[in-house]
Structure 1
Amino acid sequence: MIDTQGRLRAAFVVSRLRRAGASPGGSSTLVARTTGCMAMPRSDFYPPIDPFQTGTLAVDGIHTVYWEQAGNPRGVPVMFLHGGPGAGASPTHRRFFDPAHYRIVVMDQRGAGRSTPLGETRENTTERLVEDIETLRRHLGIERWHLFGGSWGSTLALAYAETHPDRCLGLILRGIFLMRKAEIDWFLYSMRILFPEAWAAFAGHIPEDERDDLLEAYWKRLDSADPMVRMAAARVWSVYEGSCSSLLPSPDLIAASGEDRHALGLARIEAHYFRSNRFTPEDKLLRDVSRIRHLPGVIVQGRYDIVCPVISADALHRAWPEADYRIVPDAGHSAMEPGIRAALIQATERFKEYR
């Protein structure tokens, strides 16, 4: 429930409501508007920057992961965790953070982006990714850091923080995905409620007699020995997700979704994790939230997020009522949408107080 008469604290863009709209535990649900009353000094991207260091880590006999650092080498460390799984990071992701304040660490997860082999699913599990993050932290000599992740990045941030809470300063999460069967089924079958044309193209790539199990039908093609079959399925899968990822479908986002490297990494690894969702037991992330409730947290969620519906963010906030919960009323899933982008940058500004 939202108390629309509540006042906003100056410390946040649209900070906690002071009156009785609080969620259980006393922390309030925020509606962060993209017009009107934003008072924080910054709510848009910082200028583009280049990394001051790049490298790779051979994390096992199969995978080599790419990493980079940008911003202030002596700044407060923050780890950016990309989505998907399998989407990879981009230069734009550095721009959520003040480069004068933050030591910005970015890693392409196993099989994603500039990590190799692209799209590799062997030894690719949530637990392995958590180990990779911890290996990178030790490699860089970082004692503690903030975690910043959206969509699958929120899943991985929670998994890492719940495993290594003593290594975390705080969490900024967006578009919450808890790796539950209902969320996967929603993606495969129920997004057609609002995007029937996108789903028709997605399902239409599969013969009608295989559509009862779209996940297995896609995996058969994504794991085909024929690279043309793999690539065709990957493009359709990735474009489907991109088509549903913003409140107003973005031609640029949809076009980027169909690019070969992005599509192959995203579709193969995403389908692999969906098939093997035993890697994160049902509701494990919610059950283990008690391990991180002492940490500062911000949850940013688009009201009309179709890829990761708001019900998952609500479940997380009920388990973690101390976290600030910001519902952006005019946004979907993408971090690039104005309201989502503003809320995330305002959160990184506020987190400057935590060192």
Structure 2
Amino acid sequence: MTDAVSIRSGRLKVADGNELYVESVGDPSGPAVLWLHGGPGSGAGTAYRKRIDPDRQHAIAFDQRGCGRSTPLVTDRLDLLDSNTTSAQIDDIEAVREHFGIERWMVTGASWGATLALAYAQAHPERVTAIALLAVTTTSRAEVEWITESMGRVFPEEWDRFAAAVARDPGERIVDAYARALRAPDPAVRAAAAAAWGRWEDTHVSLGPGWASDPRWYDPLTRDVLATLVTHYWSNSGFGGDDIIKRMPRLGGIPGVLVHGRRDISGPAVVAYRLHQAWPGSSLVITDDGHGGPDGWAAMRRAIADFAV
């Protein structure tokens, strides 16, 4: 593997006034590998570059609309939030594919990126050669209920603090109250909600081996973008998350690897297991990690190496 990786970056205008930051690394003539980041709202970062062989593979990544190096940030244009949906992001992925002149590619992602990868592959199976996913989620209503409500049985003290930190209407779900607060006209209300949401996010992933607090929740700008997008998507069950398991037959004939940590309490392994059962030709890898971890990422690197040939 070459030590110096050539990085090609640029900007791509898409719908609704958004401009995506896009980049690629590796051999442009090699098998294409798309990386979809988590969050929603975390940005693509740089770690994905280490998961391919740049001498023979071509990795593509972008910051999803509203976050990272893409513009405008969701916190600067809350009026664009309603157009930030899974369907819109699928269109963005297709725009990225066409931008790079790629006919078919392997699709990879982690956490929310796994949900988006599955939704994209189900919408455009003819464009997908293989799929590799880590910390598998579908962002279904049941998953959102577990992570925002039922998880209080595991972390009762922290959950009470989390639930009390936002004003709720009678019968309103916690996730809906946070989504509403993060669209409030008062910046102080949004900042307080984002901080409380970040504390809860840091809590429910804390049982994995080697866990360390996520510094993103301590940077106000990053935290506010993340909390706004996460609550928006979770409040809407990922804009179709409940349908992903029903649409798994669309992936028949596409090979895939689902990698999940046994200790990922915020995203129970049963989600990956049920997807595997509904997806002939898929492989399920259960590690001892939490929500991501060294064993999981090692399994992802192996899957990418095996598929992207």
TM-score, with normalisation over the residues of structure 2? 0.90
Question: Which residue does the alignment assign to 1:250?
Answer: 211
Question: Which residue does the alignment assign to 1:309?
Answer: 268
Q: How many Å separate the matches in 2 of 1:234 and 1:108?
A: 20
2:114 matches 1:159: no
Indicate conservation of the 8 Å contact 2:252/2:281, yes or no.
yes
After TM superposition, the structure 1 = structure 2 runs for residues 1-355 of structure 1, keeping only pairs within 5 Å, are 52-119=7-74, 120=78, 121-206=81-166, 213-246=173-206, 247-248=208-209, 250-251=211-212, 253-277=213-237, 279-280=239-240, 282=242, 284-328=243-287, 330-334=288-292, 337-353=293-309
Partner SS, residue 280 of structure 1: helix
Partner SS, residue 325 of structure 1: strand
Matched to 2:274, the amino acid is A
Partner SS, residue 69 of structure 1: strand
Identity %: 37
Runs of at least 5 residues in structure 2 that lack an aligned partner in the other structure? none
Q: 1:281, CA displacement in angstroms?
A: 5.8
Q: 1:217, CA displacement in angstroms?
A: 2.2
Bigger Cα displacement from structure 2, 207-216 vs 266-275: 207-216
Q: How many Å separate the matches in 2 of 1:148 and 1:315?
A: 19
Partner SS, residue 291 of structure 2: coil
Deviations 1:114-154 (A, max 9, x none): 11221251311111100100011011101111001111111
Check 1:87–1:135 CA distance in 2 against 1; reply closer, same or farther (3 A cut): same
Q: How many Å separate the matches in 2 of 1:180 and 1:48?
A: 40
Q: 1:191, CA displacement in angstroms?
A: 2.0
Partner SS, residue 219 of structure 1: helix
Runs of at least 5 residues in structure 1 that lack an aligned partner in the other structure? 1-45
Check 1:195–1:97 CA distance in 2 against 1; reply closer, same or farther (3 A cut): farther
Question: Aligned residue pairs: how many?
Answer: 303
Q: How many Å separate the matches in 2 of 1:232 and 1:315?
A: 37
Matched to 1:318, the amino acid is Q
Matched to 1:76, the amino acid is P
Check 1:352–1:59 CA distance in 2 against 1; reply closer, same or farther (3 A cut): closer
Q: 1:256, CA displacement in angstroms?
A: 2.7
Q: How many Å separate the matches in 1 of 2:173 and 2:264?
A: 24
Matched to 1:178, the amino acid is T
Partner SS, residue 110 of structure 1: coil
Indicate conservation of the 8 Å contact 1:87/1:266, yes or no.
yes
Indicate conservation of the 8 Å contact 1:298/1:324, yes or no.
yes
Q: 1:215, CA displacement in angstroms?
A: 1.8
Partner SS, residue 231 of structure 2: helix
TM-score, with normalisation over the residues of structure 1? 0.79
Check 1:210–1:96 CA distance in 2 against 1; reply closer, same or farther (3 A cut): farther
TM-align CA RMSD: 2.3
Which gives a bigger RCO, structure 1 or 2 (Cα 8 Å, sep 6+)? 1
Check 1:138–1:207 CA distance in 2 against 1; reply closer, same or farther (3 A cut): closer
Matched to 1:295, the amino acid is I
Partner SS, residue 324 of structure 1: strand
